Structure 1
Amino acid sequence: MARNDQDIKKEIRRIEGQLLVAKEICRENLKEINHLKKEQENNYILQEINRLLAIKTLNSNEHVNQFNQLLYLVYQQQTITLDNTIQLNEQEKDV
């Protein structure tokens, strides 16, 4: 009976070790997913900024509107980056 208990405890420790490895893999995958999501969001914003900067012939009113759009995109990028950083930190605490 004692031998069987030892075998069971040994198997439990082995499974616990595998679970810890799986948990670490999941944590790394989650970090990579969040990083890729952030890159995807930032790429869209950078494309829009580049499009707006490429417009060279604008009259005064159009120029003001485009500049305001540019400022808004920069604000969006900063907000998204901050939100993603906060979410990443919270998710890393939970894992």
Structure 2
Amino acid sequence: MNENVFKAMADPTRRKIIELLKEGPKTAGEIATHFSHAQPTISRHLNVLKNANLVADQRNGTYIIYRLNTTVLQDWLAWLLERFGGSGNDDEE
């Protein structure tokens, strides 16, 4: 498991960015409108998400479009559920 994923998901701003990208691809400017942070702060958060491979970017003219890398996110969630999701034996005491 990529340790950068844990670092990326530990921050509430980055989790909110993930939620926004779940709705579909967005530019950094579109993402920034949902926060009171300055644009450079959002860019740093996006770089952390990119380094964890949770987000992919693609240049489109003068814009960079960010999209969720669902494969990495699904792998991370599966890993968490496997280890911390419980045994399914809730009746045991």
User: Which structure exhibits the higher relative contact order, with contacts defined as CA atoms closer than 8 Å and separated by 6 or more residues?
Assistant: 1
- Bigger Rg, structure 1 or 2: 1
Q: How does the TM-score come out when normalised to structure 1?
A: 0.29
Give the structure with the higher percent strand: 2
Give the structure with the higher percent helix: 1
Q: How does the TM-score come out when normalised to structure 2?
A: 0.29
